[in-house]
Amino acid sequence: MSTLKEIQQEVVACRRCPRLVRWREKVAQEKTRRFQDWEYWGKPNPSFGDPHAQVLLVGLAPAAHGGNRTGRMFTGDRSGDWLYRALHKFGFANQPTSVSREDGLRLINCYITATCRCAPPLNKLLPSEVLNCRPFFLRELGLLKNLKVVVGLGKVGFDSAVNCYAELGWSTFEKRPKFGHGVEYRLTESVTLLGSFHPSQQNTFTGRLTEPMFDRVFRRASAIIKQV
């Protein structure tokens, strides 16, 4: 069986989706004005975190000038500003910011993955691209033995978790979980699924997602793992 590290090496080398390969490399070459001095990553983002984590976060995909630039999920963009502030507040990260792969960030009892590891045009994935990336997630789940909480960041991440647990034959729900902010479902006998609006600017700038709302999700995740 592959290790988590070996899976991430495969992720970084992946070229399964021609549309995504073209886009991520085009963005990395052309850049954007405010990051002209950066050497963009321009490859798939590997998952990362504590291999013994009890909490798993599932996002959508890297941002064109965030993870696609820095090479780490939720790093170098406004979504990451929100996420790592919350993770640090509840003890899941050693610092509240994430700006580069060399900034010293360390996740604590937490692991971060995504539905797709490449930045998509307009943040929109094709169904075939989701399916192409799913085997990586399935293999990760087989190795993350201590999970107690899965947080779906956005509907895509939430549904990805539901689909993967169902595909593995692990899920216990009788009715398919429906995404919403703050929803809670029993994913298996030992794993709870939480839903959260994605901390994208589309949600945070409009007030659809506020810091207290986001904090409640991670406060609940912290409470669940303390119960067991």
Query: So where are the chain's domains?
Result: 4-227
CATH superfamily of 4-227: Uracil-DNA glycosylase-like domain (3.40.470.10)
Matching residue, tokens 């794993």: 191
Encoding tokens for residue 109? 């009892």
The packing angle between helices 154-167 and 127-143, to 10°, is 60
Q: Block means of pLDDT (10 residues each) for the chain, length 228 residues? A: 93 98 98 96 98 98 97 97 98 97 97 98 96 98 98 98 96 92 96 97 96 98 90
Cβ count near 186 (within 10 Å) = 13
Q: Say if CB 84 and CB 74 are below 8 A apart.
A: yes
Coil, helix or strand at residue 184: strand
Q: What whole-number distance in Å separates Cα of residue 131 and Cα of residue 168? A: 14
At residue 177, φ and ψ (nearest 5 deg) are -60, 140
Give the pLDDT score at 1: 67
Coil, helix or strand at residue 93: strand
Buried b (16+ CB within 10 A) or exposed e, 1-28: eeebeebbeebeebeebeebbebbbebb
Give, for 153, the enclosing helix (H) or strand (E).
Answer: strand 149-153
Q: Say if CB 98 and CB 156 are below 8 A apart.
A: no
Q: What whole-number distance in Å separates Cα of residue 210 and Cα of residue 224? A: 22
pLDDT tens-digit readout, 149-188: 999 999 999 999 999 999 999 998 889 999 999 999 999 9
Give the pLDDT score at 174: 84
Q: Say if CB 71 and CB 41 are below 8 A apart.
A: yes
Give the pLDDT score at 2: 86
Q: What whole-number distance in Å separates Cα of residue 126 and Cα of residue 122? A: 11
Give the pLDDT score at 88: 98
Q: What whole-number distance in Å separates Cα of residue 162 and Cα of residue 99? A: 30
Q: Say if CB 51 and CB 40 are below 8 A apart.
A: no
Give me the amino acid identity at 117.
R
pLDDT tens-digit readout, 32-45: 999 999 999 999 99
Give the pLDDT score at 228: 57
What residue ranges in 156-220 does DSSP mark as E strands?
184-186, 192-196
Q: What is the dihedral of CA 26, 32, 33, 39, to 10 degrees?
A: -70
